[in-house]
Every structure is written in structure tokens, then in C-alpha cells.
Amino acid sequence: MYKNLIKSWIPNLTPNLMQEYGKKLGIFLNESETTILYQFIMKNYSEILEGNDKSLEELKTKLNPTLYKQLIKLYQENKIKYL
């Protein structure tokens, strides 16, 4: 159920929404990081929703280590709840 809801919502995702959501969680993204994450999500969301999180490794080389760890933690918390 959640997968279909997320898939239907993805086209509404914007970089600005990502930054605002991150702020609510205490994760502050600069413009470059936002662009990287937005492009990554748009390209890989269906793969990740199916439980294949290996593509997340791609972000490891593109983001600073602290941000990467925050995102992995957020992903793992949400994976338990929604996938």
C-alpha cells in the first residue's frame, strides 16, 4: 500500500520540498546536495522501494560523510515503517 502511495507522490517531489523536509528533520541541504539527491531519487526511487538499497552506495562518493550517514539512518528508519 505504501509503495503505491509513494510512487504516486514522487512526480510532485521538488528540490524545495526536499530542503524543507530535511530542515524539519535537522538535515540541512545546500543547493548542490539537494540537486544530487533529487536526481538520485527521481532515477532510483522504484528500485529502492523494492528493497534494493545497493544503489544508495552511489551517494557515498557524492555527498559528505555526515550527510550520507544521516540519510542512511533516515532511510533505514523509514524502510522499517513503510516497506
Q: Indicate if the alpha-carbon torsion angle 12, 60, 83, 52 is positive or negative.
A: positive
Residue located via cell numbers 524545495: 16
Check whether 83 has a pLDDT greater than 70: no
pLDDT for res 27: 95
Check whether 73 has a pLDDT greater than 80: yes
Of 25 and 5, which is predicted with more confidence?
25
Does the predicted model carry a pTM greater than 0.85? yes
Query: What is the percent of the chain where pLDDT is above 70?
Result: 98
Average pLDDT over residues 57-64: 94
Domain hosting 19: range is 2-82
What CA–CA distances, in Å, run from 8 to 5, 35, 47, 54, 74?
Answer: 5, 21, 15, 23, 21
Check whether 47 has a pLDDT greater than 70: yes
DSSP assignment string, 19-44:
HHHHHHTT----HHHHHHHHHHHHHH
Number of domains in the chain: 1
